[in-house]
Amino acid sequence: ETGVTQSPTHLIKTRGQQVTLRCSSQSGHNTVSWYQQALGQGPQFIFQYYREEENGRGNFPPRFSGLQFPNYSSELNVNALELDDSALYLCASSPRLAIVHNEQFFGPGTRLTVL
Amino acid sequence: AQRVTQPEKLLSVFKGAPVELKCNYSYSGSPELFWYVQYSRQRLQLLLRHISRESIKGFTADLNKGETSFHLKKPFAQEEDSAMYYCALRRQGGSEKLVFGKGTKLTVNP
């Protein structure tokens, strides 16, 4: 069974640019959640995707958007990057949404630096 | 508002000493509480959840609804317990967002 993978590991962008981060969910999982973890903070929920539809969103502006594909992998897109977007971006997958007590399995994260 | 507070940013104990990592929460309704751990150079992983009422790696946590707390305890700390610990909550029975605290870095000294 393959765990959650994320790419790239690190990347550096400049203000105003756009970035796409990728996540492959764990085998058998159809729900993906994205979190932003700023330095010294806990992870903060961005949004969740279930069967290619957004299923809940945190307090992030519309320039944060996402996609989920038929194979349940997912992308996080951030437009018009700002310095405060510098953070570790975590992806977490979980099995069927309707199951109570679902555990979320986290990927290693993508470290984004905005200059 | 949903909020998780971990009052200690850093906690240092000696091997064999008891350890308690504090977690307080604010939530209107019935939350599900979790402790996640991140060891050095490893990914975030679930340590335990209040629903299971189990002990993992010698750690236990009891949900105290009156005090809205979910403190993590271990009677005898080991060096390998050194890690970053995050308390988190979500709506009970839900699969949506986890709300995390800022974390406590535990160092167990030899």
Q: What is the pLDDT of residues B35-76, one digit of tens each?
A: 999 999 999 999 998 877 788 899 999 899 899 999 999 999
- Is it the case that residue B81 has pLDDT exceeding 70? yes
Residues of B in Cβ contact (< 8 Å) with A43: 44, 86, 98, 100
Residues of B in Cβ contact (< 8 Å) with A40: 102
**Rounded-to-integer distance, Cα B3 and Cα A95, Å:** 26
Residues of A in Cβ contact (< 8 Å) with B46: 103-104
Q: Distances from the Cα of A72 to the Cαs of A4, A32, A62, A102, A108, in angstroms?
A: 11, 8, 22, 17, 18
Beta bridge partners of B87: B35
**Rounded-to-integer distance, Cα A7 and Cα A22, Å:** 5
Contact B96/A at CB under 8 A: yes
- What is the number of CB-based contacts under 8 A between chain A and chain B? 55
- Is it the case that residue A106 has pLDDT exceeding 80? yes
- The minimal CB distance from B96 to the residues A43, A44, A56 is found for A56
B7 vs B92, higher pLDDT: B7
Shortest CA distance from B6: residue in chain A: A42
Say if residues B87 and B6 touch (Cβ distance below 8 Å).
Answer: yes
Q: What percent of chain B has pLDDT over 70?
A: 96
Specify the pLDDT at position A27.
84
Chain A interface disruption, residue of B97, B99, B104, most A CBs within 10 A = B97
Residue closest to A3 by CA, chosen among A114, A106, A75: A106
Specify the pLDDT at position B94.
63
* Residue range B95-101: mean pLDDT, rounded: 85
Name the band, by pLDDT with cuts 50, 70 and 90, for residue A63.
very high
* Residue range A81-92: mean pLDDT, rounded: 97
Q: What is residue B80's three-state secondary structure?
A: helix
Whether A33 sits inside 8 A of B97 (CB atoms) is: yes
How close A19 gets to chain B, by Cα (Å)? 22
The region of weakest confidence among A31-40, B43-52, B97-106 is B43-52
Residue closest to B38 by CA, chosen among B79, B78, B86: B86
Backbone angles phi, psi at B79, to 5 degrees: -60, -35
Any residues with CB less than 8 A from the CB of B93 and at least 6 apart, and which? A100, A101, B32
Phi-psi region of B27 (alpha: psi -120 to 50; beta: other; left: phi over 0): beta
Task: Identify the residue whose tokens are 């080991």.
Answer: B78
**Rounded-to-integer distance, Cα A98 and Cα A109, Å:** 26
Q: Distances from the Cα of B56 to the Cαs of A2, A13, B8, B36, B47, in angstroms?
A: 23, 41, 22, 11, 7
- The minimal CB distance from B102 to the residues A31, A35, A41 is found for A41
- Using omega within 30 degrees of 0 as the cis cutoff, is the peptide bond preceding B18 cis? no
Q: What is residue A84's three-state secondary structure?
A: helix
Name the band, by pLDDT with cuts 50, 70 and 90, for residue A100.
low
Specify the pLDDT at position A97.
58
Q: What is residue B79's three-state secondary structure?
A: helix
